[in-house]
Amino acid sequence: MTGKREPIHGQWSGRLAFILAATGSAVGLGNIWKFPYIAGENGGGAFVLVYLVCIAVIGIPIMMAEVMLGRRGRRSPINTMRVLAAEEHAGAYWQWLGWAGVIAGFLILSYYSVIAGWAVAYVFRAGSGLFTGQTADGVQSIFNNLVSEPERLLAWHTLFMVMTMAVVARGVRSGLERAVRLMMPSLFLILLVLLGYAWNSGAFEQGIHFLFHPDFSKITGNGVLIAMGHAFFTLSLGMGAIMVYGSYLPARISIAKTTLVVSLADTAVALMAGMAIFPIVFANGLEPGSGPGLIFQTLPIAFGHMPYGAFFGMLFFVLLVFAAWSSSISLIEPAVAWLVENRGMKRVSASMLAGVVTWLFGLLTVFSFNIWSDFRPLSFIPVFRDSTIFDLLDYLTANVMLPLGGLLIAVFAAWLMSRDSSVDELGMGDGFFYRVWRFLVRYITPVAVSIVFLRAIGIV
């Protein structure tokens, strides 16, 4: 069957709306909170280089594949995979790929929401002038005070989950599109302000050197896996978020061009965040590898010392919350779309159900930073010796589930789907660019992901 399907849940108003929504999904805590701290933990330059290579040769082609599958199936990822598998005469078990994505989405959102809650808390801390004139030690103790109290973290996590489900309940068009339109350019601007501060911090060169000078002796097989996992995480790939957004994409809009814009914007934001943060880290004698608290322990120092710092600080955290918000809704959309399609639920009740489940899982992360901070469930495995439950959740989803999901998406799009179907849906003919894409998803992605996995486990 090649006739085009109609979308069930509505469509984006056009090309720009899709770009904004997909950029909203891609740009989030992954770029500003996670990228700097994992780059710091994994030695800087070499890690960043591996990450950039993964974005280019794995991330962008997979993003094209995911959008393509979504638009062809026009349903939640579970049903899209079921319908496309039937159409391409592949096994019905392909719908399990959709299920795996839904589970990954729940797990990721469960901790994502807790960290986004920190950002909400920091809006008020920055706005009240709490950071003015603070030293690195002062800023650190403000952070420790926040995360050491489970009730507080729980309250902020709850607030962020309510915000997320409120938007999801309203559907893809209203609210979301408009918010993202304003917020993305503002985020860019404020990152420029921070870069300006970092430039004058006295350690700009040291920060840049750390980020862009690859020293391969500093990266391990596990570090390579983390860099690759992050390429999936930051582009929202491998779990159906971009697939479900693709299912709302009007026909005839170029998938290749839009995907390229989204990936470039995402990468630019991450690099800008890194270039703003590391100079501050070095100028204040902080540890680049200090973990998930890194931006919350560095940027407030900058806000505490720049003119109008309380204003800029508040603005920054407001934008960070928006960036996280526009990502969190895409994490849960595959599940909600499925509940609406298959359980006949209204969007509002589907959102509430999904939200409650995610909120409950979030407790694991809330407690990982205080009452369970010494609990290391897998300490008998060397790489997980120091990992809390939060660390393990993050590792399992970003470094295992997303790359595996991406691998299977690549296999389906390039091996099981007929050449005619993909030429038809991508709509860029079957010339040079199509062939490069197909070569990358057919050979490079599956081989690269497999090798990185096997190396990290120690088999290769």
| Residue in the block written with tokens 């790939």 | 237
Taking the C-alpha atoms of residue 227 and residue 398, their distance in angstroms, rounded to an integer, is 10
| Part in contact with ligand PHE (CB under 6 A); list of ranges 10-18, 20-28, 147-155, 338-346 | 20-28
**Identity (one letter) of the amino acid at 441?**
V
**CA neighbours closer than 13 Å in the CB half-sphere of residue 223:** 21
Taking the complex as a whole, the smallest distance from the CB of residue 236 to ligand PHE amounts, in Å, to: 4
Q: Which is nearer to ligand PHE, 130 or 318 (CB)?
A: 318
Q: Which is nearer to ligand PHE, 233 or 338 (CB)?
A: 233
Taking the complex as a whole, the smallest distance from the CB of residue 330 to ligand PHE amounts, in Å, to: 5
Q: Is the dihedral of CA 388, 389, 390, 391 positive or negative?
A: positive
Element counts in the chain: helices (H) and strands (E): 22, 0
Question: With binding defined as CB under 6 A, does residue 399 bind ligand PHE?
Answer: no
Taking the complex as a whole, the smallest distance from the CB of residue 27 to ligand PHE amounts, in Å, to: 6
Taking the complex as a whole, the smallest distance from the CB of residue 382 to ligand PHE amounts, in Å, to: 27
Query: Which of 20, 21, 26, 286 is the binder for ligand PHE (CB under 6 A)?
Result: 26
Q: x/- binding map, residues 91-130, to ligand PHE, per CB under 6 A?
A: -----------------x----------------------
Least Cα distance to 82 among 425, 265, 342 occurs for 342
| Residue in the block written with tokens 């290391």 | 376
Taking the complex as a whole, the smallest distance from the CB of residue 394 to ligand PHE amounts, in Å, to: 11
Taking the complex as a whole, the smallest distance from the CB of residue 166 to ligand PHE amounts, in Å, to: 18
Taking the C-alpha atoms of residue 242 and residue 107, their distance in angstroms, rounded to an integer, is 17
Binding residues with ligand PHE: total (CB under 6 A): 15
Question: With binding defined as CB under 6 A, does residue 51 bind ligand PHE?
Answer: no
- Residue 271 contacts residue 51 (beta carbons within 8 Å): no
Least Cα distance to 114 among 354, 293, 350, 314 occurs for 293
Q: Which is nearer to ligand PHE, 201 or 399 (CB)?
A: 399
Q: x/- binding map, residues 311-340, to ligand PHE, per CB under 6 A?
A: ----------------x--xx---------
Backbone dihedral region for residue 252 (phi beyond 0: left; psi -120 to 50: alpha; all else: beta): left
Taking the complex as a whole, the smallest distance from the CB of residue 267 to ligand PHE amounts, in Å, to: 11
Least Cα distance to 74 among 311, 299, 245, 329 occurs for 245
Query: Which of 39, 69, 227, 241 is the binder for ligand PHE (CB under 6 A)?
Result: 241
Query: Which of 9, 12, 18, 31 is the binder for ligand PHE (CB under 6 A)?
Result: 31
Q: Which residue is nearest to ligand PHE (CB)?
A: 30
Taking the complex as a whole, the smallest distance from the CB of residue 376 to ligand PHE amounts, in Å, to: 25
Give 247-290 as a DSSP string.
TTSPTTS-HHHHHHHHHHHHHHHHHHHHHHHHHHHHHTT--TT-
Q: Please return the burial class of 205, using the count of CB atoms within 10 Å of its CB with bins 0-12, 13-18 and 19+.
A: exposed
- Residue 449 contacts residue 237 (beta carbons within 8 Å): no
DSSP H or E run through 151:
helix 150-170
Taking the C-alpha atoms of residue 35 and residue 52, their distance in angstroms, rounded to an integer, is 12
State phi, psi for 249 to the nearest 5 degrees. Answer: -85, 125
Q: Which is nearer to ligand PHE, 68 or 239 (CB)?
A: 239
Question: With binding defined as CB under 6 A, does residue 233 bind ligand PHE?
Answer: yes
Taking the complex as a whole, the smallest distance from the CB of residue 148 to ligand PHE amounts, in Å, to: 25
Query: Which of 7, 24, 28, 43 is the binder for ligand PHE (CB under 6 A)?
Result: 28
| Part in contact with ligand PHE (CB under 6 A); list of ranges 22-30, 127-135, 220-228, 275-283 | 22-30
Which residues of the chain form contacts with ligand PHE (CB under 6 A)?
25-26, 28-31, 108, 233-234, 236, 239, 241, 327, 330-331
